[in-house]
Amino acid sequence: MTMISTDVLSRENDRRRADLANDYDHLGEQLARRGVDIDAVKRKVAAYSVAVPSWGVGTGGTRFARFPGRGEPRNIFDKLEDCAVIHELTRATSTVSLHIPWDKVADIPALRQKGETLGLGFDAMNSNTFSDAPQQEHSYKFGSLSHANAATRRQAVEHNLECIEIGKALGSKALTVWIGDGTNFPGQADFTKSFERYLDAMKAIYRELPDDWRLFTEHKMYEPAFYSTVVQDWGTNYLIAQELGPKAFCLVDLGHHAPNVNIEMIVARLIQFRKLGGFHFNDSKYGDDDLDTGSIDPYRLFLVFNELVDAELRQADGFAPAHMLDQSHNVTDPIESLMRSATEVCRAYAQGLIVDRAALAGYQDENDALMASETLKAAFRTDVEPILAMARLEAGGAIDPVATYRAAGYRARVAAERPAVASGGGGIV
Ligand SMILES: [Mn+2]
């Protein structure tokens, strides 16, 4: 089954097919002069996929307000249908990352079946110990896995183990743990004791992790705690992965750093020491703004992918990061934002693939700073859109995903089918 009419898709693609062929041929000639085979780049882009977060298809909000959109998904089954639209048109998002308990259902086999029907798999499971679920015995107001109270820590461990069990039934192979634990006041908690308690709790989770699973820990320097967080930066994150063992890796959310931090360098370090687990892609201007990927600083996204492509091409030991979007959509249709963000990630990947790495290494060895920089810029300046569009078209997707989505009238259709309900959870993670 398809969520978008194949008639609409064909009609929209037919309008753009001839122009795309010309643009693709022209770009192919340009790249051939630089020694790049455009078809080889296209094949790699076609094989690339980034996971969509289930919570991303609902309208987000800020701590001030939330303005609901039309036809918002009412439950995880609706969310999967919206995710299927994104994949049908972009052909770049074949998996969905779930959040428990927001996406918890009684009938897990039905959820797995729904995914299979829509052509979607399940990526990393995400646990939630940063807010209290209804009827929860112990509150996470003052922390979860690092809480001073052993029973609260145990409850948080049990929740993560439940996420693993649900994930096993869905075919997931990873658990992502992000905690909101931290403090707002100097002296509120003992840094060392908090981290010891956290590590003990994480070890209890790690012990129950299936052999073919990976455990991702996500650092974040502030929010909801504003003075200190227990897992504040990549240094602490690396210590966690080292303490836990070979199935534990660091997850890098692009928004969870201090302003102006050199994220691509952190990525390189984690690759070098075989602890890069994956990404949450988004963008920001000031902090963890959860803006659309590539909307503010596409060059930084490219520089991250430059490191990833470098590791891929030299077959760096243990290199297999998970890629996921993690952003909040307050003023756009979430499906449109996620389609564009998936495309932006593909764009950064394609640009990374056309970097002249032999020339770059030569300029680095010769200390030619200007030409080394220019080599990266030459790839970044290249408009690779024809490669992305051709990869989508040949995989059955849309040359122009947003235009096709709008022409199909999907949002108006689901707005009629889905009466507005109170939000089932979502927003910023
Ligand atoms: Mn994140």
Q: List the domain boundaries for the chain.
A: 6-417
Strands 174-177 and 276-281, by their bridges, are unpaired
| Exposure string for 175-199, b = 16+ CB within 10 A, e = fewer | bbbbbbbbbeeeeebeeeebbebbb
The average pLDDT across 348-373 equals: 98
Dihedral sign for Cα atoms in the order 164, 96, 63, 101: negative
User: What architecture is domain 6-417?
Assistant: Alpha-Beta Barrel (3.20)
Ligand 1: distance of its center to the CA of 96 in Å? 14
Where are any strands of DSSP class E within 236-374? 248-253, 276-281, 322-325
- Residue 378 is predicted with a pLDDT of 98
Ligand 1: distance of its center to the CA of 125 in Å? 12
Ligand 1: distance of its center to the CA of 272 in Å? 22
Give the length of the chain: 429
C-alpha 153/C-alpha 23 separation (Å) is 57
| 217: pLDDT strictly greater than 60 | yes
Ligand 1: distance of its center to the CA of 135 in Å? 26
The average pLDDT across 193-218 equals: 98
Ligand 1: distance of its center to the CA of 283 in Å? 11
Ligand 1: distance of its center to the CA of 253 in Å? 5
The average pLDDT across 30-57 equals: 98
C-alpha 10/C-alpha 74 separation (Å) is 30
Contact 78, 85 (CB under 8 A): no
Map tokens 């609901």 to a residue: 68
126-168 pLDDT, tens per residue?
999 999 999 999 999 999 999 999 999 999 999 999 999 999 9
Ligand 1: distance of its center to the CA of 326 in Å? 5
Ramachandran region, residue 293 (left: φ > 0; alpha: ψ -120 to 50; beta: rest): beta
Ligand 1: distance of its center to the CA of 406 in Å? 29
- Residue 426 is predicted with a pLDDT of 52
pLDDT-derived band at 1, boundaries 50, 70, 90: confident
Ligand 1: distance of its center to the CA of 334 in Å? 17
Contact 309, 355 (CB under 8 A): yes
- The secondary element (H helix, E strand) that includes residue 112 is helix 108-118
| 97: pLDDT strictly greater than 60 | yes
- Residue 37 is predicted with a pLDDT of 98
Ligand 1: distance of its center to the CA of 370 in Å? 35
Ligand 1: distance of its center to the CA of 191 in Å? 23
| 429: pLDDT strictly greater than 90 | no
C-alpha 147/C-alpha 156 separation (Å) is 9
* Angle at 397 (CA atoms; ends 393, 400), nearest 5 degrees: 80
Cα 103 from chain centre:
17
**What are the respective helix, strand and coil percentages of the chain, to the nearest 5?**
50, 10, 40
C-alpha 79/C-alpha 93 separation (Å) is 14
Q: List Cβ neighbours of 122 (8 Å cut-off, separation of 6 or more).
A: 95, 96, 97, 98, 112, 115, 167, 170, 171, 172
| 425: pLDDT strictly greater than 90 | no
DSSP state of 418: S
| 296: pLDDT strictly greater than 70 | yes
Ligand 1: distance of its center to the CA of 122 in Å? 17
| 46: pLDDT strictly greater than 50 | yes
Ligand 1: distance of its center to the CA of 252 in Å? 8
- pLDDT, averaged across the chain: 96
| 424: pLDDT strictly greater than 60 | no
Ligand 1: distance of its center to the CA of 227 in Å? 19
